[in-house]
């Protein structure tokens, strides 16, 4: 049996050296699309399937993923929690770039994949939905109880007093303090920021919390930051209550999502993966399909709906 080393990620988004002795089975090839979709359709027909979605589900809405062929990690390094809380210049850079990128995130609309997930949820085929995305598109598509594992860019939290406020309110304050910034040529990143000229970053004015004057942070989990324990435990409960797990558009590179696949595998739950390219957890998958998510999920929703109507 072919094996490959597994890299241990002790925090939710921060890599470390390979763990000694840890090995995993090499990835199995994806099955032919028609066969894979038929098997996933049969899995969904029984209902109670939990979904874990990643950045690949939102690429059709104009938001890039992190690690795909055109992933944003090939051109930029995301903000880390440690840098944000300890470095004023780092916070200025983040908020300047995020202030511009937020407009793209705010304008993004759910794509066919998000809508199909909601249709499958409404039809009773999907139970819980857990998303690693911070773009709010599952909620916008009607899956309002989707668990946002890494939080949401539409909210801002004060690190001093803990008050939550709306991102659109902060956006108005930042616009009043800085005016319009020109970054029309930059592509937005999955964490909602863009590349900006250094002189624009250096001149950017960050605004404090209106309640206590403290530091404001988007209500998202940065790289190197841990997902709140209560949220993780809730997601474990959702996996434990499911019949199977369906992974959509995630490479499962970081432990944040990978732990739920491992949880399902330990419980002998079927794991199906629809993703462009291999994932870190292909060894646990009983089904892996490489297809555009919007097309694949729409087909599944239509076929299951037709089956229920016949």
Annotated binding residues for NAD(+), as ranges? 54-74, 132-135, 249-251, 275-277, 293
**Cα(278)–Cα(251) distance, rounded to whole angstroms?**
7
Binding-site residues from annotation for Zn(2+): 158, 161, 209, 212
Contact 100, 183 (CB under 8 A): yes
Contact 16, 10 (CB under 8 A): yes
Binding-site residues from annotation: 54-74, 132-135, 158, 161, 209, 212, 249-251, 275-277, 293
**Cα(12)–Cα(192) distance, rounded to whole angstroms?**
19
Question: Which residues, 6+ apart, have CB-to-CB distance to 177 below 8 Å?
Answer: 205, 207
DSSP 43-93: HHHT--EEEEE-GGGTGGGT---SSSTT-GGGT--PPBHHHHHH-HHHHHH
Question: What is the side-by-side strand order in the sheet with 49-53?
Answer: 147-148, 126-131, 49-53, 244-248, 271-274, 287-289
Contact 287, 272 (CB under 8 A): yes
Please name the residue that has the structure tokens 């939102």: 58
Question: Please, how many CA atoms are within 13 Å of residue 230, restricted to the half-sphere of its CB?
Answer: 0
Tell me which DSSP letter residue 153 carries: E
**Is 114 among the residues known to form the active site?**
no
Pairing of strands 287-289, 271-274: parallel
Catalytic residue, chosen from 99, 150, 175, 284, is: 150
Beta strands in 85-235 (DSSP E): 126-131, 147-148, 151-158, 164-166, 216-220
Beta bridge pairs of residue 126: 49
**Cα(307)–Cα(279) distance, rounded to whole angstroms?**
31
Selection from 26, 38, 44 nearest residue 243 by Cα = 44
* Residues known to be catalytic: 150
């Amino acid at each position: 049996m072919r094996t490959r080393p597994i890299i241990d990620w002790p925090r939710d988004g921060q890599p470390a050296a390979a763990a000694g002795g840890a090995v995993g089975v090499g990835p199995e090839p994806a099955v032919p699309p028609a066969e894979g979709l038929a098997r996933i359709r049969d899995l969904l027909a029984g209902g109670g399937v939990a979904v874990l979605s990643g950045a690949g589900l939102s690429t059709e809405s104009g938001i890039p993923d992190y690690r795909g062929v055109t992933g944003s990690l090939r051109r930029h390094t995301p903000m880390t929690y440690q840098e944000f809380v300890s470095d004023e210049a780092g916070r200025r850079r983040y908020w300047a770039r995020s202030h511009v990128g937020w407009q793209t995130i705010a304008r993004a609309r759910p794509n066919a994949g998000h809508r199909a997930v909601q249709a499958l949820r409404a039809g009773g085929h999907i139970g819980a939905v857990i998303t690693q995305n911070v773009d709010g598109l599952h909620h916008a598509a009607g899956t309002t109880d989707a668990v946002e594992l890494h939080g949401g860019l539409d909210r801002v939290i004060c690190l001093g007093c803990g008050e939550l406020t709306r991102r659109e309110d902060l956006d108005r304050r930042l616009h009043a303090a800085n005016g319009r910034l020109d970054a029309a040529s930059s592509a937005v990143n999955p964490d909602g920021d863009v590349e900006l000229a250094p002189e624009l970053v250096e001149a950017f004015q960050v605004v404090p919390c209106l309640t206590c004057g403290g530091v404001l942070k988007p209500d998202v989990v940065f790289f190197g930051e841990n997902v709140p324990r209560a949220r993780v435990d809730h997601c474990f409960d959702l996996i434990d209550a499911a019949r199977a797990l369906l992974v959509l558009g995630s490479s499962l590179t970081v432990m944040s999502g990978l732990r739920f696949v491992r949880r399902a595998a330990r419980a002998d739950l079927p794991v199906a993966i629809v993703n462009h390219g291999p994932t870190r957890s292909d060894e646990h998958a009983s089904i892996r399909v490489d297809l555009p998510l919007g097309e694949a999920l729409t087909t599944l929703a239509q076929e299951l709906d037709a089956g229920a109507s016949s």
